[in-house]
Chain A
Amino acid sequence: MASYCLSDSVSDQGIRNIQDTVKRGDAAIAEAKKNGMKIVENTGRWALTMPSHYGGAG
């Protein structure tokens, strides 16, 4: 199995439909499983906050 890191951000459309986020997430996970994929680790908010928090390249 090959490993991948995903960094996603919510689009304007996604924010407008934020109430369906959990539903969409479940659908995405189901689709991933159907294709033989596996979510190994979810770093949560860190993936989004690290760059701004530490100011980019040192």
Chain B
Amino acid sequence: MEAPDDETMSAFILKVGSLGNVKGQTLRAFRPERDGRDSGEDQIAFLKVPILPSPQATRSLGEIDLIGIPQGGKDVGSAWPHVYSNRGRLTELDIRHGRNRQNMAPGRDAVVVPATLDNVRYGLAIDLKAGRKIPAEVRYSDHNGDGHLA
């Protein structure tokens, strides 16, 4: 969902929840801007992962400055992110999908793959901070099939 600000979103959720028919969790989401503008977020509570880096590039997330884009469309629904942290910093991320949990190949279509609290092995996802600022410009895969980002 999109809302003008956190207060509006909180008011909406409280109103819906007060009826007692649903209970849930609301998480702030971040997505790369298609037009290359900065997302405006520096230290991101890294709960929503709008990226698909290659496995090679994400051994240490703090050392990369590229964002990969997962294949969009039907396969994304089964994607499952693995998020690892160490002392409150996001250290590793990969996203797999399918029956054999294979790594998802980089593609052109942006999509938000949620990482829930259950994904984080060593702590609460809401306490995680990205190792560095997410770059403003999203760079696309070179589609050479080896999983490296362009």
B residues 84-106 near A (Cβ < 8 Å) are 96, 101
- Residues of chain A contacted by B96 (CB below 8 angstroms): 58
Please tell me if A2 contacts chain B, counting CB pairs below 8 Å: yes
Cα of A47 to Cα of B26 in the assembled complex, Å: 12
Asked if B12 contacts A10 (CB within 8 A), the reply is no
* Size category, B interface: 35 or more
Please tell me if A22 contacts chain B, counting CB pairs below 8 Å: no
Say what secondary structure dominates the interface of chain A.
Answer: mixed
Least CB distance, B107 to chain A, in whole angstroms:
17
- Residues of chain B contacted by A6 (CB below 8 angstroms): 1, 13, 24-27
Least CB distance, A56 to chain B, in whole angstroms:
5
Asked if B25 contacts A13 (CB within 8 A), the reply is no
Given A2-B28, A7-B27: A43 and B77 interface contact (C-beta under 8 Å): yes
Least CB distance, B28 to chain A, in whole angstroms:
6
Asked if B114 contacts A37 (CB within 8 A), the reply is no
Minimum CB distance partner of B50 in chain A: A3
Cα of A32 to Cα of B80 in the assembled complex, Å: 29
Minimum CB distance partner of A34 in chain B: B12
- Return the contact of A57 from the options B27, B77, B119 (Cβ within 8 A): B119
Which one of B15-23, B54-62, B126-134 contacts A? B15-23
Cα of A3 to Cα of B1 in the assembled complex, Å: 6
- Residues of chain A contacted by B83 (CB below 8 angstroms): 57
Cα of A43 to Cα of B113 in the assembled complex, Å: 10
Cα of A25 to Cα of B118 in the assembled complex, Å: 27
Asked if A3 contacts B24 (CB within 8 A), the reply is no
Given A32-B1, A37-B1, A40-B2: A3 and B28 interface contact (C-beta under 8 Å): yes
A residues 17-55 near B (Cβ < 8 Å) are 17, 24, 28, 31-32, 35-41, 43, 46-47, 50-51, 54
The 7 closest A-B pairs by CB, nearest first: A8-B24, A14-B21, A3-B29, A1-B2, A37-B3, A46-B77, A38-B2
